[in-house]
């Protein structure tokens, strides 16, 4: 059985992630700061995120999560970041003016214009999804739920809505074993669940 | 029902007999009147000829979408359903397809009424019988899981009507009334609430959907067992525009008055029930006022006679004090004649059935409510019957013409 | 940015789901878990659970029901949030976003601490308004015991703008429960709170009114309460009241 570990950094909605991974037939473990896990025990790590970049990074640095994540990435084992979790992969986080994990170059900066937050649903670009091998069984314009203020500096799959004046919103960033979703697949109803399934089975081969 | 220790002695309505204990929930206004009584006041206050006109316009719009049948009318063998057919056929001028789901406990008066509806109104009727062995398994699961035996019938009756609507492209389904609106005032008639899967699961199926039923089943229910009692999915409902309307939003629904009108003018039959004075309500089902009613009292502390009395109080046909006496009187009736054939059919012992009563919240009401006075007797006699009482006829799974299933089942 | 949203509001009173009319009169509407599971199949943009019981703390029964319903749609919870531990309890039940009622006026520091934990995008401020002759729009008092004069909108506009919350739930507290009666945007005062944060409008909306609200720059969402209990797939009926052109421009396609 695929073992998925979800890091509890304190401010995230862990319950929904546990539910959705459970429903996909994986074994889900919530990794608390206090319990140490060996990287060999887990097949996939999920970094969820709601909250501030600074407190998330300090939680990582001040616990065994730091070494754990480094080891996981160096062994090229799968890591999924969701929302803030995806932003942590980058080198600089403007929100708290601090360093991220630095696995992907780039600076995560804020949305400049009103409404200042990107909250709501947008359609993922299907052809970009297909290029990333995440497209199986999805509708031609799968809608997913976003709720964030800061943007990923680089991305492989963008999302858009009719109201977009500025073009695509960064939605998915991919770098080999590291995948970051800016949106919340666990809150994106049927399409979100299918994307997670595709990530597990088609992209990571788990 | 969610058992919440915050509910101390349940708050009662100042007018009718319902209390917070009602499984649909009850809300009260500042004067202590319950939400059901508040909705009921609309029956005297609204302009019903205007509302009937609204109904005519609504069905005219819907009628244009189907090819041969204009609507579906779920039918039961009680006098009230004659009234529905009369409204649909003669007053609204629609061509209905009647649908009837066999409860497997239909009484002979129920079968006769169904036959008479077809004849008197000259309507086509589609009847469905679930596999009797599976049905029995579902009734057993319903009893074990919910302490209630009618889950399979309530699931099947509505699901069958909606499935026929989808399959035959007849988007309009006409129901008499929405029970939670009539009893606890869930909606105002002005809101024109409609049938919904949510209300079916919440109110009819006691918060247990068919897929919940097959999960962690006590009696090995499988997905194929519940296939024919499952509601079609949203995509289909949306595409076909399936709508279930309630006539009570457009007419001041009164089961007693309408039933009596049909008995006099259309030859509908009525019969004496056990455990209630009402000779029109649910007479088509041999278990309703017998086994089911005993279990209902055992689980929630009141039985169908209370529902009948609340209706009568709200229509001003009896006062609360006399109603309380009649309620107490009927709730102590224990029609043992009805139990034996049922538990034999279900394949449980008398002790097993008594176990359900012993460990339920309220058990069997033993204390007698006293004797009925002249006033109460006169009220009770106001409900008349023109068919032998249901006690004369306690065979189950009648398939028309008095046939029963083979003994070895 | 993202499409504007249609939000269903489920109102809870003492553990029971109710239909609410101007917060004064209620009708029973079933139980929360059934409603949540059903609305989860409607492709709604968000579902809001609003507890109007005026308890000292959040209701553990409601929290448990949300957790057990296990829905895959975004959930906003409002009602009785007092401090960070409430937020943590709700996060563990699967709620994404939180509606703050009196907290942002009584204790902006607590709101700041909550925002540090979950981010401003998870916070919505509740602004229930009534109109008072001679005063314009005022905040509806949340307690019937509160005898102090109601706060006019111009006095709280600054507090609202300074708050780290991302959005406001602006409620027509009189029209609530009476579809078609919403009228807040006919008052000039409303402009005091438009512009700094996105607004979700609630209280007596119908399709036509929603259509007009969706075209306002400040609008990020429109919310519907009682109607969600009255019809099968009520969301379709609501959308039918909104012109096709407005739907295509502002709302995501409905995909059941």
Q: How many CB pairs under 8 A join B and C?
A: 93
Residues of C at the A interface, defined by Cβ within 8 angstroms:
1-5, 40, 43, 45, 67, 70, 72-74, 91-97, 116-122, 166-167, 195, 197-198, 217, 220-221, 248-250, 252-253, 255
Active site annotation includes A148: no
Distance from CA of C232 to the nearest CA of B (A): 4
B232 interaction partners in chain C (CB closer than 8 Å):
none
pLDDT at B409 over 50: no
pLDDT, averaged in runs of 10, over chain A (206 residues)? 89 86 93 83 88 84 89 92 94 89 92 83 93 93 93 91 69 94 95 96 92
CB nearest to C220's CB, from A120, A161, A186: A120
Active site annotation includes A83: yes
B110-133: average pLDDT? 93
In terms of Cβ atoms closer than 10 Å to its own Cβ (0-12, 13-18, 19+), residue C144 is exposed
Among C121, C164, C167, C169, the residue to mutate for chain A (most A Cβ within 10 A):
C121
> Of residues B292 and B405, which shows the higher confidence score?
B292
Q: Could C252 and A143 be called an inter-chain contact, meaning their C-beta atoms sit closer than 8 Å? A: yes
Query: Model confidence at B1, in pLDDT bands (50, 70, 90)?
Result: very low
Provide the b/e sequence for C103-130 (b: ≥16 CB within 10 Å): bbbeeeebbeebbbbbbbbbbbbbbbbb
Q: Could B242 and C13 be called an inter-chain contact, meaning their C-beta atoms sit closer than 8 Å? A: no
Q: From CA A79, how far away is CA A68, in angstroms rounded?
A: 11
Give B59-93 pLDDT, tens digit per residue.
988 776 667 899 999 999 999 999 999 999 999 99
CB nearest to B4's CB, from C18, C29, C61: C61
Check A31, A59, A83, A148 and give the catalytic one: A83
Distance from CA of B47 to the nearest CA of C (A): 20
Active site annotation includes A92: no
Q: Are strands B96-101 and B124-128 parallel, antiparallel or unpaired?
A: parallel
Query: How many other C-beta atoms can be found within 10 angstroms of the C-beta atom of residue C189?
Result: 17
Q: Is A135 on the interface with C (CB under 8 A)?
A: no
Query: Model confidence at C196, in pLDDT bands (50, 70, 90)?
Result: confident
- Which H or E element spans position A187? none
Q: Is the pTM of this model over 0.90?
A: yes
Q: From CA B156, how far away is CA B175, in angstroms rounded?
A: 15
Q: From CA B369, how far away is CA B372, in angstroms rounded?
A: 9
Query: Model confidence at B339, in pLDDT bands (50, 70, 90)?
Result: confident
Contact A43, A77 (CB under 8 A): yes
pLDDT of residue C219: 94
Q: Which chains have at least 3 CB atom pairs separated by less than 8 Å from chain C?
A: A, B
The contacts of residue B364 (CB under 8 Å, 6+ apart) are B294, B297, B298, B334, B357
pLDDT of residue B283: 94
B26 interaction partners in chain C (CB closer than 8 Å):
28
Q: How many CB pairs under 8 A join A and C?
A: 133
Crossing angle for the helix pair C84-92 and A14-23, to the nearest 10 degrees: 0
Percentage of residues of chain B with pLDDT beyond 70? 92
pLDDT at B370 over 90: no
B204 interaction partners in chain C (CB closer than 8 Å):
none
pLDDT at C5 over 60: yes
pLDDT of residue A167: 53
Contact C201, C223 (CB under 8 A): yes
CB nearest to C95's CB, from A13, A52, A189: A13
Q: Complex ipTM, two decimals?
A: 0.93
CB nearest to C166's CB, from A84, A119, A164: A119
Q: From CA B184, how far away is CA A90, in angstroms rounded?
A: 57
B186 interaction partners in chain C (CB closer than 8 Å):
19, 27-30, 229
Give B162-219 pLDDT, tens digit per residue.
999 999 999 999 999 999 999 999 999 999 999 999 999 999 999 999 988 887 777 7
The contacts of residue C133 (CB under 8 Å, 6+ apart) are none
What's the token pair of residue B297? 């009292």
- Which H or E element spans position A63? none
pLDDT of residue B105: 84
Query: Model confidence at B369, in pLDDT bands (50, 70, 90)?
Result: low
Give B291-325 pLDDT, tens digit per residue.
999 999 999 999 999 999 999 999 999 999 999 99
pLDDT of residue C129: 93
- Grouping H, G, I as helix, E, B as strand and the rest as coil, residue C244 is helix
Query: Model confidence at B17, in pLDDT bands (50, 70, 90)?
Result: very high
Q: From CA C242, how far away is CA C235, in angstroms rounded?
A: 11
> Of residues C62 and B10, which shows the higher confidence score?
C62
CB nearest to C2's CB, from A13, A114, A119: A119
DSSP string for residues in C57-82:
S--HHHHHHHHHH--SS-EEEES---
Among C26, C30, C66, the residue to mutate for chain B (most B Cβ within 10 A):
C30
Among A17, A189, A193, the residue to mutate for chain C (most C Cβ within 10 A):
A189
pLDDT of residue C220: 95
pLDDT at C37 over 70: yes
Distance from CA of C36 to the nearest CA of B (A): 10
B10-28: average pLDDT? 95
Query: How many other C-beta atoms can be found within 10 angstroms of the C-beta atom of residue C219?
Result: 22
Provide the b/e sequence for A27-61 (b: ≥16 CB within 10 Å): ebbbbeeeeebebeebbbbbbbbbbbbebbbebbe
Q: Could B35 and C42 be called an inter-chain contact, meaning their C-beta atoms sit closer than 8 Å? A: no
**Closest to C119 (Cα-Cα) out of A114, A150, A100:** A150
**N residues, chain B:** 409
C11-22: average pLDDT? 93
At A178, phi and psi to the nearest 5?
-105, 125
Provide the b/e sequence for A112-127 (b: ≥16 CB within 10 Å): eeebbbbbbbbbbbbe
pLDDT of residue C136: 83
- Whether a cis peptide bond, with omega within 30° of 0, leads into B217 is no
C166-189: average pLDDT? 91
Query: Model confidence at B408, in pLDDT bands (50, 70, 90)?
Result: very low
CB nearest to C34's CB, from B186, B191, B198: B198
C91 interaction partners in chain A (CB closer than 8 Å):
11-15, 50
Q: Could A189 and C43 be called an inter-chain contact, meaning their C-beta atoms sit closer than 8 Å? A: yes
Q: From CA A50, how far away is CA A84, in angstroms rounded?
A: 6
User: Which chain C residue has the Cα nearest residue A18?
Assistant: C94
Q: Could C74 and A84 be called an inter-chain contact, meaning their C-beta atoms sit closer than 8 Å? A: no
pLDDT at B7 over 60: no
Q: Is A111 on the interface with C (CB under 8 A)?
A: yes
Distance from CA of A75 to the nearest CA of C (A): 31
A10 interaction partners in chain C (CB closer than 8 Å):
117
> Of residues B258 and A166, which shows the higher confidence score?
B258
Give C208-253 pLDDT, tens digit per residue.
999 999 999 999 999 999 999 999 999 888 999 999 999 999 999 9
pLDDT at B398 over 70: no
- Grouping H, G, I as helix, E, B as strand and the rest as coil, residue A17 is helix
Q: Could B186 and C42 be called an inter-chain contact, meaning their C-beta atoms sit closer than 8 Å? A: no
B217-234: average pLDDT? 85
Percentage of residues of chain C with pLDDT beyond 90? 73
pLDDT of residue C153: 87
C96 interaction partners in chain A (CB closer than 8 Å):
13, 16, 50, 147, 184, 187
pLDDT at B404 over 60: no
Residue A86: CA count within 13 A, CB half-sphere: 26
Give C119-176 pLDDT, tens digit per residue.
899 999 999 999 888 878 888 875 545 556 788 888 899 999 999 999 999 999 989 8
Provide the b/e sequence for B137-171 (b: ≥16 CB within 10 Å): bbbbbbbebbbbbbbbbbbbbbbbbbbbbbebebb
Query: Model confidence at C22, in pLDDT bands (50, 70, 90)?
Result: confident
Q: Could C19 and B180 be called an inter-chain contact, meaning their C-beta atoms sit closer than 8 Å? A: no
CB nearest to B27's CB, from C18, C35, C236: C18
């Amino acid at each position: 059985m695929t073992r998925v570990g979800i890091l509890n950094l304190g401010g995230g909605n862990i319950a929904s992630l546990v539910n959705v991974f459970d429903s996909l037939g994986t074994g889900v473990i919530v990794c608390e700061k206090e319990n140490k896990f060996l990287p060999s025990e887990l097949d996939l790590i999920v970094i969820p995120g709601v909250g501030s970049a600074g407190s998330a990074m300090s939680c990582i640095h001040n616990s065994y999560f730091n070494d754990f994540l480094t080891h996981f990435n160096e062994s090229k084992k799968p890591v999924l970041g969701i929302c803030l979790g995806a932003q942590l992969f980058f080198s600089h986080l403007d929100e708290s003016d601090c360093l991220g994990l630095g696995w992907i170059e780039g600076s995560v900066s804020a949305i400049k214009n009103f409404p200042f937050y990107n909250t709501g649903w947008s359609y993922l670009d299907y052809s970009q999804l297909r290029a990333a091998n995440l497209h199986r069984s999805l509708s031609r314009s799968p809608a997913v739920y976003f709720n964030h203020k800061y943007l990923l500096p680089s991305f492989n799959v963008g999302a858009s809505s009719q109201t977009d004046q500025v073009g695509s919103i960064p939605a998915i960033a991919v770098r080999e074993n590291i995948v970051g979703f800016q949106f919340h697949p666990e809150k994106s109803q049927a399409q979100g669940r299918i994307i997670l399934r595709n990530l597990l089975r088609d992209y990571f081969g788990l | 029902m969610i058992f919440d220790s915050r509910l101390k002695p349940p708050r009662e309505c100042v007018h009718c007999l319902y209390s917070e204990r009602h499984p649909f929930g009850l809300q009260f206004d500042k004067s202590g009147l319950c939400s059901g009584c508040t909705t009921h006041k609309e029956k005297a206050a609204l302009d019903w000829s205007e509302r009937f006109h609204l109904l005519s316009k609504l069905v005219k719009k819907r009628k244009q979408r189907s090819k041969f049948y204009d609507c579906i009318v779920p039918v039961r063998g009680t006098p009230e359903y004659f009234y529905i057919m009369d409204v649909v056929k003669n007053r609204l001028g629609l061509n209905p397809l009647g649908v009837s789901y066999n409860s497997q406990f239909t009484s002979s008066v129920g079968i006769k009424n169904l036959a008479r509806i077809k004849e008197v109104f000259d309507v086509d009727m589609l009847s469905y019988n679930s596999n009797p062995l599976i049905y029995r398994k579902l009734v057993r699961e319903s009893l074990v899981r919910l302490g209630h035996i009618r889950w399979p019938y309530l699931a099947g009756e509505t699901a069958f009507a909606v499935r026929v609507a989808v399959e035959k492209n007849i988007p309009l389904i006409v129901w008499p009334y929405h029970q939670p609106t009539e009893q606890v005032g869930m909606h105002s008639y002005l809101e024109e609430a409609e049938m919904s899967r949510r209300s079916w699961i919440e109110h009819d199926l006691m918060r247990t959907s068919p897929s919940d039923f097959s999960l962690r089943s006590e009696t090995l229910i499988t997905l194929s067992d519940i296939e024919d009692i499952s509601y079609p999915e949203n995509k289909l409902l949306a595409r076909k525009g399936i709508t279930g309307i309630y006539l009570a939003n457009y007419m001041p629904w009164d089961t007693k008055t309408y039933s009596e009108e049909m008995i006099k003018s259309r030859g509908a039959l009525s019969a004496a029930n056990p455990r209630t004075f009402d000779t029109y309500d649910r007479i088509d089902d041999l278990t309703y006022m017998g086994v089911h009613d005993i279990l209902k009292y055992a689980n929630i502390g009141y039985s169908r006679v209370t529902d009948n009395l609340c209706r009568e109080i709200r229509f001003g046909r009896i006062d609360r004090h006399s109603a309380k006496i009649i309620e107490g009187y009927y709730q102590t009736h224990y029609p043992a004649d009805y139990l034996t054939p049922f538990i034999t059919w279900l394949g449980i012992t008398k002790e097993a059935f008594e176990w359900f009563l012993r460990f339920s919240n309220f058990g069997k009401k033993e204390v007698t409510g006293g004797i009925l006075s002249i006033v109460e007797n006169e009220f009770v006699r106001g409900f008349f019957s023109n068919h032998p009482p249901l006690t004369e006829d306690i065979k189950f799974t009648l398939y028309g013409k008095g046939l029963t299933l083979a003994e070895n089942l | 940015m993202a499409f504007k949203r249609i939000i269903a509001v489920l109102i809870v009173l003492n553990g029971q789901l109710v239909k609410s009319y101007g917060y004064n009169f209620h009708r029973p509407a079933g139980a929360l878990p059934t409603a949540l599971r059903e609305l989860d199949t409607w492709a709604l943009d968000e579902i809001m659970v609003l507890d109007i019981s005026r308890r000292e703390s959040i209701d553990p029964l409601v929290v448990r029901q949300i957790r057990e319903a296990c829905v895959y749609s975004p959930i906003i919870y409002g009602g009785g949030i007092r401090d960070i531990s409430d937020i943590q309890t709700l996060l563990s039940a699967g709620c994404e976003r939180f509606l703050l009622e009196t907290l942002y006026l009584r204790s902006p520091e607590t709101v700041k601490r909550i925002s540090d934990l979950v981010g401003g995008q998870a916070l919505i401020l509740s602004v229930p308004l009534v109109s008072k002759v001679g005063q314009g729009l005022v905040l509806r008092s949340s307690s019937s015991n509160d005898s102090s004069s109601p706060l006019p909108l111009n006095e709280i506009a600054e507090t609202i703008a300074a708050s780290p919350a991302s959005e406001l739930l602006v409620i027509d507290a009189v029209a609530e429960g009476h579809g078609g009666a919403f009228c807040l945007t006919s008052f000039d005062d409303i402009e005091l709170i438009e512009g700094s944060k996105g607004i979700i409008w609630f209280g007596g909306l119908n399709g036509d009114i929603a259509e007009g609200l969706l075209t306002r720059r400040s609008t990020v969402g429109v919310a519907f309460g009682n109607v969600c209990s009255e019809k099968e797939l009520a969301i379709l009926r609501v959308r039918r009241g909104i012109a096709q052109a407005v739907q295509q421009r502002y709302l995501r396609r409905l995909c059941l």
